[in-house]
Structures are given as C-alpha cells and as structure tokens.
Amino acid sequence: MPAPRARLTVDLDALAANHAALKALAGSAEVAPVVKADGYGLGAGPIARRLWAEGARTFFVARLEEGEALRAELGPERPARILVLDGATAGAAPRLAHARLEPVLNSPAQVEAFAAYARANGPLPCALHLDTGMHRLGLTADELDVLASAPDRLQGLTIALLMSHLACADQEEHRLNAQQAGRFKTARALMPDVSGSLANTGGVFLGPAFHHDLVRPGIGLYGGGPFARSHPQLRPVATLAAPILQVRAVAAGETIGYGATFTAERAYRVAVLAAGYADGVLRSSAGRGRAWFAGDFRRILGRISMDLMVVDVTGCEAAGPGAMVELLGPHVTVDEAAEAAGTAAYEVLTRLGPRAERVYSGAQG
C-alpha cells in the first residue's frame, strides 16, 4: 500500500472551459495561452496538448529551455507557434532557430544580433516588445521609431507581432491601463501591417480596446481571477489535497507547532496533515489560511512546517487517518489562498512542489 502523500489534481476539462470563456470574451482576437513556468506549475506538456485540442495554435513561454521542452512535448504532430518572452539572449539564436521558436526581441541589441544571424542563415520570425509603462523588458518608443524608420535594420527578420504588457490590468480603474493602451495604439501606427498584442488575462476582461489581434491569458486559464479575486466565468483547475496522518486532542493552554505561535484557548481536536511548504503550501498562510473538509472550512493552526500542518477538526467525527483535506481547489480557491498568504495567485500555483502525486483528470489532448 503506497505511503500517504498530498495529491495535486489538474482538471483539464476546467482548463478547456476557461479557455472557451476567454475566447468568447476576446472576440476576433486569437487566444494564445501563456504556459511559462511549466504551465504555471501544473505541467506545460499536458496543459498545452489539451489547449491545442481546443484550438490553441500559439503559446508563450519565458525561457529558451521552456520553449525547447514545450516543442518536444507537443511533438511534430502539433506544429505550434511558440514565442519566448526573454527574447534572443546572447548566443541563443541557433537554438531558437533549431527548435523553431520565435524570440520576443526586447532591446536594440537583441534586434541587431538576431537580425545578423537571420541574414547569415535565412529569414526568421520574431516579435518586438514595446515598453509602454511597465519599465521591465521592452523597446522604448524612441527605439521602436528608429527601427520603423530604418527597415534595413530589420532585414532578415519577419516581424510577426508587436506586443506590450499591462502593468496594472488586475486593477480595473488604474489610470495606467488607459495610458498604456493609448501608447500602444500610437506605436502600432508605426507598423500598421504587424499584428498587435497587449492583453493578459486582466486585459481580456478590460474590453475590446485592449484585445487587438492576439491576447495572452495566463492566470485565468488556470482558474485565477482577472482582478485578484475569483471570477464566476472561470473554473478552478488545480486541487491540492492532503491526507490526515493523525487526529489528536490538544488541551487548553497547550501550543501547536514550531515557535509555539498558537496557544489553544480551549480544548481542540486537530488533524495533522501530510503536507507542508515542500508541497507548495505557503508558510505565510499560517494563522490566516483555511482548508475544506467534510462540508466546512477548517482553520489552519500554528506554523506550517516542511512536511506537516495542523487543522482544526473539533466536532468533526469524519476526521481520521487517510481522509483527504482540500488545501486548494473549488472551495479554497487560488485567489483565497493567495490572499491568506499575502501574495498573488501566480505564486500559489508556481510554488506547488513536485512531491505531491500528480493526477490529470478530464480529456487528454
């Protein structure tokens, strides 16, 4: 009999439903899933294969290695377009070309180096990233203007996309959203024949002015809400459940866990679960987080340790060794878990550790 351990279930049918919901909102714009960080911690291969079956043909990753791995996972029967957000870093051009990956070029130096490689080895597709106000990666407006007015600098390149990234799309009323939309519209006039992309998940929900030709949803595909809260149009995709190892009594005045941070003000019945921060349960959620078991929410008591955690099951006769407790899923949503931990849904998902058993439910791609 296998030893008890946490189980991460990835609902591919829920993923497909979220893709369909985002596609309906995006109108005529192509929906290009973001599957970086191993599909936000849920497995880029199974995620991308199912989304390919749902009609997705363009995918975004962050790193070159992620793009190479995704190309292998999709195989020759799924000739997807894969864009690498890091762009063409030093020495990466041969690997990008070999794996048929399109770099999102972020600087004049990247443009120059990738164009030089293309001129020597044959035309290559790529995207250009314009910084419209986030001040991370991206060409400045002046740098884009120089490229647009001097097309010889782009010789050898097929510019397939002009994109930018919204800094505050998860805040519907933030002034920067309209400001970035305006800057991007102005920039697109410099390259009117090139497709445009501005919207992430939040941008999809901000409306048609943000959609352009292609949208790039990430967190919404995996069940996270566009505005840092659950959204009725999006279904939870990941469920993390942990087995109870032991049920025990804690007397009033006794403490629980490392640091004795929780003192029982009364008698408690508690369940010790086989899950901790090594499984992706964020330590910072202690004292604020909750689990779901036997039809009710159960408070997390004391510190979360590497392998174990404790929840309150006082008055719950169903609690016993082997029973599974939901730590993340349809009741404890990824946005609620993020709020309890003082972080974002993105971190909750990408921190899910490899130790938990992984199960994929629903139709496989």
Catalytic residue ranges: 36, 258
d(CA 291, CA 273): 11
The one-character DSSP state at 122 is -
Cα atoms in the 13 Å half-sphere on the side-chain side of 179: 10
**Taking each helix axis from N to C terminus, what angle separates 141-149 and 108-121, rounded to the nearest 10 degrees?**
30
Nearest in space to 243 (alpha carbons), one of 269, 267, 276: 276
Q: Is 133 helix (H, G, I), strand (E, B) or coil?
A: coil
- CB-CB contact of 80 with 45 (8 Å): no
- CB-CB contact of 4 with 274 (8 Å): yes
Q: What is the number of H-type helices and E-type strands within the chain?
A: 11, 18
Q: How many residues comprise the chain?
A: 365
Who's near 75: CB < 8 A, 6+ residues apart?
none
d(CA 239, CA 361): 11
What the block records as the tokens of 274 is 């086989």
Nearest in space to 237 (alpha carbons), one of 42, 34, 20: 42
What the block records as the tokens of 340 is 């309890």
Q: Could you identify the residue written with the tokens 């794996």?
A: 99
Distances (CA, A) of 360 to 45, 53, 60, 226: 11, 15, 22, 24
